[in-house]
């Protein structure tokens, strides 16, 4: 008993001291601090039970990326003006496989955001049960309003530098915010041209005709709904007949909406970075897909075709719409304490994080205290990277699986992530808390691999 108390005190002090070092060593990186804090706090019971992880300095090593690469990305716009953006790639942890994680093109991108995403990715990738390490990258380039030619020139310049650091057994980037099939296509072309080799496994999210995987486009959204479905079923609930609110209208949002609808839910709202639409009859997904995927227009256009629906400026208001299930699928910190309280007051039963870190630490606490079923990002949105790893497998075999084969594998992986998160939460004294469960389940595999591979 006394020994246990001593171990707990020691574990808490260890975690606190590592966190303080992170804050000191990475000043002004609030998103990175937030991601580290969320994970470190849930790992205390692991260190108390297994002091070997402290003795091997696992945390000190985990919070320091193996490598952070930044580079200049010069390109010429359609007016002939030379522009310069900054490119990033963080190679966070390769204990269980080559670095793997998306590229984000958004003006908000900086070292803090890339590091928070890369750190989270390490645990998420471990949770999938596949052999992929953690990485992430991107640029502060804003694709909005750019012509196809500008996008191509920018992505080619980006890849001209990035290609030096990646490879199918080294680091395998994919898409994220602002990087979809078009951008991956241009980057793959440029990589192939520079290397003079058809190395299909160097990027995932490729078009189907040149090495992509069926169901990769749908994977993150579908996977998130599969995960939430497991949470709902554990309480005798289901998507069928429920009201759902999904933020965003990009890749993750669109396919979360599609799968939720297929399971019988009514999805009444979605958004973009300007505002949100509310359609009490249930939104028309074909319109949203055409507007966002094909025409690349604003979500506000929806109400021109569906005049009974309403459009509201600003993003936060979407969380005031009463719903049974909320799927934040736009960006980080989109649900703050106020939004979480409103959702709880309006009777939300489940929240599944389609985006990365969409809920603040305070919001997560509010959900957990209110007994809301809460699926944290690194578990709930792991379906995208899981199918990316399946894309790598298919590339290695030079063979393609049918849609239903990939979808079945995705479904099984999401169920497995749910089960291992539930089990870890129980084993370490936090039954039902999937934040703690997912963090611990993801951590242990990486930590054990790091111990096995020595101090590197």
Q: By CB under 6 A, which span of 207-215, 282-290, 325-333, 416-424 interacts with ligand NDP?
A: 325-333
Distinct helix (H) and strand (E) counts, the chain: 17, 12
Selecting among 115, 124, 136, 292, the annotated active-site residue is 136
Taking CB under 6 A as the criterion, the residue among 201, 211, 384, 442 binding ligand NDP is 384
DSSP 386-453: HHHHHHHHHHHHT----HHHHHHHHHHHHHHHHHHHHHHHHHTT-TT-HHHHHHHHHHHHHHHHHHHT
Provide the minimum distance between the beta carbon of 11 and ligand NDP in the complex, in angstroms, as a whole number: 30
Report in angstroms how near the CB of residue 354 gets to ligand NDP at its nearest: 6
Q: Which is nearer to ligand NDP, 46 or 177 (CB)?
A: 177
Q: Does 120 bind ligand NDP (CB under 6 A)?
A: no
In the sheet that holds 99-105, the strands lie side by side as 67-76, 82-93, 133-139, 99-105, 171-174
Taking residues 177 to 216 in sequence order and writing x for each that binds ligand NDP by CB under 6 A, - otherwise, the string is: xx--------------------------------------
Q: 8: exposed, middle or buried (C-beta count within 10 Å: 0-12, 13-18, 19+)?
A: middle
Residue of the chain from 211, 250, 437, 442 that contacts ligand NDP (CB under 6 A) = 250
Residue 338, phi-psi category: left (phi > 0), alpha (psi -120 to 50), beta (remainder):
alpha
In the complex with ligand NDP, which residue's Cβ is closer, 204 or 433? Answer: 204
CB 58 within 8 A of CB 450: yes
Size of the site for ligand NDP (CB under 6 A): 23
Alpha-carbon span 150 to 154, nearest angstrom? 6
49 given a catalytic annotation = no
For residues 299 and 292, the answer to whether their CB atoms sit within 8 Å is yes
CB of 330 to ligand NDP, least distance (A): 4
Measured distance CA(181)–CA(160) in Å, rounded:
18
Q: Residue 272 in contact with residue 299, Cβ under 8 Å?
A: yes
354 interacts with ligand NDP by CB under 6 A: yes
In the bound complex, what is the minimum distance in angstroms from residue 271's beta carbon to ligand NDP? Answer: 6
- Token pair for residue 111? 């070292």
| Interacting span for ligand NDP (CB under 6 A) from 77-85, 155-163, 250-258, 418-426 | 250-258
Cβ count within 10 A of residue 341: 16
User: Minimum Å distance from CB 375 to ligand NDP?
Assistant: 13
Residue 203 DSSP symbol: S
Quick one: which of 448, 447, 451 has its CA closest to 39? 447
Minimal distance, residue 400 CB to ligand NDP, in Å: 19
Which stretch, 36-44, 91-99, 233-241, 324-332, contacts ligand NDP (CB under 6 A)?
324-332
Query: Among residues 176, 183, 230, 407, which is the contact residue for ligand NDP, using CB under 6 A?
Result: 176
In the complex with ligand NDP, the residue whose CB is nearer, 191 or 319, is 319
CB of 267 within 8 A of CB of 261? yes
Stretch that binds ligand NDP, among 10-18, 25-33, 163-171, 350-358 (CB under 6 A): 350-358
Q: Which stretch binds ligand NDP (CB under 6 A): 35-43, 65-73, 169-177, 427-435?
A: 169-177
Nearest residue to the partner ligand NDP, using Cβ: 250
Which one of 156, 287, 331, 433 is in contact with ligand NDP (CB under 6 A)? 331
Which residue, 45 or 101, is less far from ligand NDP as judged by CB?
Answer: 101
Give CA–CA dist 112/430, Å, rounded: 30
Between the CA atoms of 426, 323, 175 and 61, what dihedral angle is there, to the nearest 10 degrees? -30
Strands 275-278 and 243-246 turn out to be unpaired
- Closest separation between CB of residue 424 and ligand NDP, Å? 21
CA 1 from centroid of its chain's CA atoms: 40
Q: Which of 288, 221, 289 is nearest to 260 (CA)?
A: 221
Interface map 265-304 toward ligand NDP (x if CB under 6 A): -------xxx------------------------------
Least gap, CB of 326 to ligand NDP (angstroms):
14
29 touches ligand NDP (CB under 6 A): no
Give the three-state DSSP class for 96: coil
Helix (H, G, I), strand (E, B) or coil at 6: helix
Q: How far is the CB of 292 from ligand NDP (least distance, A)?
A: 6
Among 125, 155, 243, 249, the residue binding ligand NDP under the rule CB under 6 A is 249
Give contact residues for ligand NDP (rule: CB under 6 A): 175-178, 220, 248-253, 272-274, 315, 329-331, 354-356, 381, 384
Catalogue the active-site residues. 136
């Amino acid at each position: 008993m006394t020994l246990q108390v001593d171990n707990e005190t020691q574990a808490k002090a260890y975690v606190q001291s590592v966190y303080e070092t992170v804050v000191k060593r990475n000043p002004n990186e609030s998103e990175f601090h937030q991601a580290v804090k969320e994970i470190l706090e849930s790992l205390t019971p692991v260190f108390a039970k297994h002091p070997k992880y402290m003795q091997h300095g696992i945390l000190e090593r985990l919070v320091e990326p193996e490598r952070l690469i930044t580079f200049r990305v010069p390109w010429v716009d359609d007016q002939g003006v030379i522009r310069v953006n900054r490119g990033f790639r963080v190679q966070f942890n390769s204990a269980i496989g080559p670095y793997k994680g998306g590229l984000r093109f958004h003006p908000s991108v900086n070292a803090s955001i890339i590091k928070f995403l890369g750190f989270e990715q390490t645990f998420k990738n471990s949770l999938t049960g596949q052999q992929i390490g953690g990485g992430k990258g991107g640029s502060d380039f804003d694709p909005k309003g750019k012509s196809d030619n500008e996008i191509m020139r920018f992505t080619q310049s980006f890849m001209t530098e990035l290609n030096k650091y990646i490879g199918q057994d080294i680091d395998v980037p994919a898409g994220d915010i602002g990087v979809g099939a078009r951008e991956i296509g241009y980057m793959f072309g440029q990589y192939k041209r520079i290397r003079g080799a058809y190395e299909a496994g160097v990027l995932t999210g490729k078009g189907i005709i040149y090495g992509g995987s069926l169901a990769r486009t749908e994977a993150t959204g579908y996977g998130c709904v599969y995960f939430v479905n497991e949470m709902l079923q554990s309480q005798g609930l289901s998507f069928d007949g429920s009201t759902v609110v999904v933020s965003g209208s990009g890749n993750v949002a669109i396919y979360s909406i599609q799968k939720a609808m297929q399971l019988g839910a009514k999805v009444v709202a979605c958004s973009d970075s300007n505002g949100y639409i509310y359609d009490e009859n249930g939104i028309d997904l074909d319109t949203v897909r055409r507007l966002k995927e094909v025409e690349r227009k604003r979500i506000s256009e929806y109400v021109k075709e569906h005049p009974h629906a309403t459009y509201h400026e600003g993003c936060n208001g979407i969380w005031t719409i009463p719903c049974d299930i909320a799927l934040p699928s736009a960006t980080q910190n989109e649900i703050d304490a106020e939004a979480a309280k409103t959702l709880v007051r309006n009777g939300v039963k489940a929240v599944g994080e389609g985006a990365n870190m969409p809920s603040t630490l305070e919001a997560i606490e509010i959900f957990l205290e209110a007994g809301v079923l809460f699926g944290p990002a690194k578990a709930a949105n792991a379906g995208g990277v899981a199918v990316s790893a399946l894309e790598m497998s298919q590339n290695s075999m030079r063979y393609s699986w049918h849609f239903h084969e990939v979808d079945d594998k995705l479904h099984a992986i999401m169920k497995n992530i749910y089960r291992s998160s539930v089990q870890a939460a129980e084993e370490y004294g936090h039954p039902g808390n999937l934040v703690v469960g997912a963090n611990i389940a993801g951590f242990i595999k990486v930590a054990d691999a790091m111990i096995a591979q020595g101090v590197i």
